[in-house]
Chains A and B, each alone.
Chain A
Amino acid sequence: MSGGVDSSVTAALLKDEGHEVIGISMQVWDYSRFTARDGEKFDTCCSLDDIYDARRVAESLGIPFYVVNFEEEFQRLVIDDFVDEYFSGRTPNPCVRCNQRIKFELLLKKARELSADFLATGHYARIVRDESGYYRLLKGKDQGKDQSYFLFTLTQGQLAHTLFPLGEMTKQEVRRLAAHYRLRVAEKGESQEICFVPDNDYVRFLEEARGEGRLSGDIVDSTGAVLGRHSGTYRYTVGQRKGLGLAHSHPLYVLGVDAEKREVVVGAGDELYREGLTARNVNWITLPAASPIEAACKIRYRHRPVPCRISPLPDMRAEVRFLEREKSVTPGQAVVFYDGDTVLGGGWIEEAVRSEE
């Protein structure tokens, strides 16, 4: 329970259905760090106020409520990875990482340890069991809220003990239910992007973690000509247009980031298009594809699935070819494979494939 509307309604629904429900919040951050520093106050998805809200909701539902401490694990498995990725020239997705390593690994283990049969979360996604006994992961019914992209790492073992009670609902229905159950969080807003970067200033966060001035270098065009200087490759992500500080005859976009050479490569908008990508640490929800398959893929959360051809490669890798060239393939982001509403699997984008080289 995060203290938000979705997980609160999830708990209320399950309780209403007669399940024995235990509420758990994860403490993933030392909140005293914030309150101690200049009395700054942050409003984030995992702030102390939210744990307080979650506790109050649990009290009103009459369910036991506990807070588990995953501070150390969150730092090691999510935050350190987040920083490492940026300093390696990639644009990470910590929410997928948190689902993979914290929620559906550590928290699920904790839930099982407490003899719970299932871990239920407020994600907008569905789990169904097919004729052959496999658990399938489907998009949430609310297409606008669908969160299946963040769940592509789930394994059969995890899916078997996971419930997404909101998967069949729209956000509007969930809000109505929150009001129906008289949950004090019914009016609460949506949580923000990255919970541990409360002010959304991720550059400041990275520089506080590793210091300023590292990875500064040249801004170059695709021929290698130097156009200017930048003060850290981690400040840039593929497709970015603002913050380059260059005067040029036409708008310039970031085409790529090379942390090793400390280069930020820029070019015109039409240079952003790529034929495909390679992915690593690919997870297939049911059986791995043995040969190339036609499917659709999303290369970032806010992206409509586009048709593609996926070729499995050794060592849990895959190559994805778009039927039509796609803009802003961003290393470090997740690529998630879909067949209609079904999530086939996904992986982490290694690099863009440029052409029929």
Chain B
Amino acid sequence: MIYMDYNATTPVHPEVLEAFLPFYREGFGNPSSIHWAGRRVKGVVEDARAKVAELVNCDPSEVVFTSCGTEADNMAIKGVASALRAKGNHIITTRVEHPAVINSCLYLEQAGYDVTRLDVDRAGMPDLDALEGAVTSRTILISAMYANNETGVIFPVKEIGDIAARHRVYFHCDAVQAAGRIPVDCRELNIHLLALSGHKLYAPKGIGALIVRKGVKLHPLIHGGSQERNRRAGTENVAGIVALGKACELAKATSASESGRLERLRDRLERCILEKIPTARINGHPAKRLPNTANISFPDTEADSLLVSLDLEGVAVSSGAACSSGALKTSHVLAAMGVDPLVAKGSVRFSLGRESTEADVDYVLEVLPGIVERLRKNSEK
């Protein structure tokens, strides 16, 4: 079995598992409790907070733990919209965001906010002049992703942060795919809010974080107790928080060497696919891309048949977005990039990670050309 869908989720790192399991056993206490059981876990939450802060270069007090990346995005967008309602009602985002951002903005639009959605070019890059031109006195937030989940394209986050700073507008960055894979630096990049997710960096599902820089006005999404400095109510997911902290610590230590290794693997995968299947096309900016992601179109094929055929050969990959039923939808990301719909419908995302090996790439290169050939022949009929 070969797993090449690390952008969907990652297996929990054994050291992470080891770190958090005790908090389902003897470390069961509630951090808010005054007694020994609570005291035993209070510190570990703060230790984890510091490790998350270190990975993305912010102050530990700026880390708010959430249940996932989607919650972090919702909290950032709706929280700012609500807190700054008196100042303005205009939000700028892009056409290639994750549904967590797209649908949070859509929700606000239906509630009366104005939303500007920036186009991207063929390479998946937003037009910075258009961004600058879109800012008005009513603009309260720019929400743009760090790296795209489908194509791996890395946005010019520094420039976006500069524009936001120049116009004194908050910048929320969905860094779910970037954090732990490439260096992310909140201070350097003028990021006010940043979302990340545990299960994309070898922590379990059910834990994420929103970085809320000091001074940022934000209403909470979830009301209740005073946890997380009144920003996110609900008893802390202590085990998840410990896991995220450990995963961030490991990512900080290994991502530099790991990204080089994955980039070489990914580049070989792409190069050999192009050699064996000359009609294939790589989507997204050739250089400004996550090192682990390859989004490849195979003209005259359909992604669902490619996915199913690869799955039946034991290879797990994915494509675009899926409906709740599990059926594939056309990719809004490739559509926004202007990829011909007939080509986009045969696009597959290969995303590599910690356990990916040369042998995995070899196996995919062995089975893929035959599958593509078969599907292309079938489509001619």
**Chain A interface (Cβ within 8 Å of chain B)?**
22, 25, 27, 30-32, 48, 51, 55, 64, 66-69, 71, 109-110, 112-115
Chain A interface secondary structure, helix, strand, loop or mixed?
Answer: mixed
B311 within 8 A of A: yes
Q: Which 8 A-B pairs have the closest CB atoms?
A: A69-B327, A27-B327, A67-B326, A67-B327, A113-B378, A51-B325, A67-B325, A113-B305
Q: Known contacts A22-B312, A113-B375; decide if A66 and B324 are in contact (CB<8 Å).
A: no
Q: Given contacts A27-B325, A51-B325, is CB(A68)–CB(B304) below 8 Å? A: yes
Q: Tell me the smallest distance from the CB of A39 to a CB of chain B, in Å.
A: 15
Min CB distance, B218 to chain A, in Å?
Answer: 28
Whether the Cβ atoms of A115 and B328 lie closer than 8 Å is: no
Contacts of A51 in B (CB 8 A): 325-326
- Minimum Cβ distance to chain B for residue A169 (Å): 29
Given contacts A109-B378, A112-B378, A113-B305, contact A64 B311 (CB under 8 A): yes
* 6 contacting pairs across A/B (C-beta < 8 A): A22-B312, A66-B308, A66-B311, A67-B326, A69-B323, A112-B378
Please count how many residues in chain B sit with their CB below 8 Å of the partner chain's CB atoms.
Answer: 20
Spell out B's residues near A (CB within 8 Å): 302, 304-305, 307-309, 311-312, 323-329, 374-375, 378-379, 381
B312 and A114 within 8 A (CB): yes
Most chain B beta-carbon neighbours within 10 Å: one of A30, A113, A114: A113
B241 to A: closest C-beta gap in Å: 32
* Nearest neighbor of B305 in chain A, beta-carbon distance: A113
In the bound complex, do residue B375 and residue A68 qualify as a contact, i.e. CB atoms below 8 Å apart?
no
Q: Which of A55, A67, A109 has the most CB of B within 10 A?
A: A67
With contacts A31-B325, A113-B302, A113-B309 known, what are 16 further pairs, Cβ within 8 A? A27-B325, A27-B327, A31-B324, A48-B324, A64-B311, A66-B304, A66-B307, A66-B308, A66-B326, A69-B323, A69-B328, A71-B327, A110-B302, A113-B375, A113-B378, A115-B374
Provide the bound-state CA to CA distance between A31 and B311, in Å. 26
**B304 surroundings in chain A (CB, below 8 A):** 66, 68-69, 110
Which residues of the partner chain A approach B375 to less than 8 Å between Cβ atoms? 113
CB-CB under 8 A from B309, the residues of chain A are: 113-115
Residue of A nearest to B377 (CB): A113
Q: B325 — which chain A residues lie within 8 A by C-beta? A: 25, 27, 31, 48, 51, 67
Nearest chain B CB to A266 CB, angstrom units: 44
CA distance A68 to B327 in the complex (A): 5
Q: Which of B302, B323, B374, B381 contacts A27 (CB 8 A)?
A: B323
Question: Could you tell me the distance between the alpha carbons of A48 and B311 in the complex, rounded to whole angstroms?
Answer: 23
In the bound complex, what is the Cα–Cα distance between A112 and B308 (angstroms)?
12
Tell me which of B324, B329, B375, B381 has the highest count of chain A C-beta atoms within 10 A of its own C-beta: B324
